[in-house]
Amino acid sequence: MLFGTARDALRGLLADGSTRRCWRRLWIPSYFCQDVVASLRSTGIVLVTYTDDPENPLTVGNARFLPGDALLVVNYFGLRGMPSYDRLLPDTVAIIEDHTHDPWSVWAINSEADWCVASLRKTLPVPDGAVLWSPVGHPLFSEPALTVDRRAASLEKLAAMALKALYLEGLLGDKEFFRRLAISGEGRIASGDVSGITEWTRALLRTFPTGTWRERRRENHRVLLSAIGGIPWATVLRPQDAVDVCPFSGIVLFDSAERRDHVRECLMASRVYPTILWPLESLALPGIPPENVDFSRRMLSIHCDMRYSRADMLRVAEMIRLI
Ligand SMILES: Cc1ncc(COP(=O)(O)O)c(C=O)c1O
């Protein structure tokens, strides 16, 4: 079932879970996007955190489960393999997996979770879009209508994407047009009522060569991993022990927050725009361990998707090495 965003899919699912399945609490991993956490608040379900991070396998260490609990599990940066829940959880807990960072992983395809969600706009060139499915066949609720606000936000983002393409071809001199539209559209892309997907994104999703693009992402990651190897103050996170893993991006961890900030500024000055996934400076929930905040301050996500070539990966790695 398709939605405007993953936040819509999760909000719709939590509303359905509270009314029809007596869900009362959602366990959220401590290392997670705080904007998503903030938006889930509006559902009224109680949000609690369990300790988890991208460097370690899932353990749900500190969670004490009660009847009416649901658990959100994230495949961080597409680096994880399918966990074995039997040893971790009572079977009363509803499992919701977030496959945003690699919706086509072996784990996602063979999942045994109650529900899976993936935002599609992180791996595909679409202005909106997310998918929700139930691997174990729970009945789905009805797909929400597209809201007026979301239609407008998606159109702004779509216009920004088209203008950016012209800019990158050298046909448009001013970045400001598309930047303003992109920021405005992004600011409104998950707000208001739960929304369905736009008709243009639904149509676009049928056209993409996702397998070929995923292979490029994997190959680019391999190149980046080996090119950054040997820099004493930076490491690239490696896939956890799993089959057919395709990382979302190059997650580079620096030896200090200061070095990360310096590298980020230098890359941006050279028009390379890494991202921080996720900033944990302002927290939507208590109980985030200081180690998570430290990781967030020392990490950079370097894009390695189908827009980039092997030469691009080598160039970025060389820039980082020489900074
Ligand atoms: C792992 C993960 N889940 C969910 C989301 C939210 O997706 P959306 O923007 O479609 O609501 C994001 C966005 O960054 C994400 O990275």
Q: Do 275 and 77 form a contact (C-beta atoms < 8 A)?
A: no
Q: Domain check: are 26 and 127 in the same one?
A: yes
Ligand 1: which of 7, 31, 119 to mutate, judged by most atoms within 8 Å of the beta carbon? 119
Q: pTM here?
A: 0.96
**pLDDT for position 246:** 96
**pLDDT for position 62:** 79
Domain annotation covers residue 47: yes
Q: Is the CB of 119 under 6 A from ligand 1?
A: yes
Q: Domain check: are 19 and 125 in the same one?
A: yes
Domain housing 110: 2-133
Can you tell me the mean pLDDT for 42-52?
94
Q: Domain check: are 104 and 162 in the same one?
A: no
Closest Cα to atom 16, ligand 1: which residue? Answer: 100
Q: Which residue has the tokens 């209508």?
A: 145
Ligand 1: which of 36, 41, 43, 299 to mutate, judged by most atoms within 8 Å of the beta carbon? 36
Domain annotation covers residue 204: no
Among candidates 199, 190, 189, 213, which has minimal Cα distance to 124?
213
The answer, yes or no, to whether residue 241 has pLDDT greater than 80, is: no
More confident residue, 75 or 174: 75
Can you tell me the mean pLDDT for 15-35?
96
The answer, yes or no, to whether residue 200 has pLDDT greater than 90, is: yes
Q: Which residue has the tokens 């990966």?
A: 313
**pLDDT for position 249:** 98
**pLDDT for position 242:** 73
Task: For residues 104 and 188, give the distance between their C-alpha atoms in angstroms, rounded to a whole number.
Answer: 27
* DSSP string of 227-277, one letter each residue: HHTT-TTEEEPPPPS-TT---SEEEEEESSHHHHHHHHHHHHHTT---B-S
The answer, yes or no, to whether residue 154 has pLDDT greater than 90, is: yes
Q: Is 27 helix (H, G, I), strand (E, B) or coil?
A: strand
Q: Do 252 and 235 form a contact (C-beta atoms < 8 A)?
A: yes
Task: For residues 13 and 7, give the distance between their C-alpha atoms in angstroms, rounded to a whole number.
Answer: 10
Other Cβ atoms closer than 10 A to 241: 9
Q: Which atom of ligand 1 is nearest to the CA of 74?
A: 1
How many domains is the chain partitioned into structurally? 3
Domain annotation covers residue 99: yes
Closest Cα to atom 15, ligand 1: which residue? Answer: 100
Other Cβ atoms closer than 10 A to 268: 11
**pLDDT for position 265:** 97
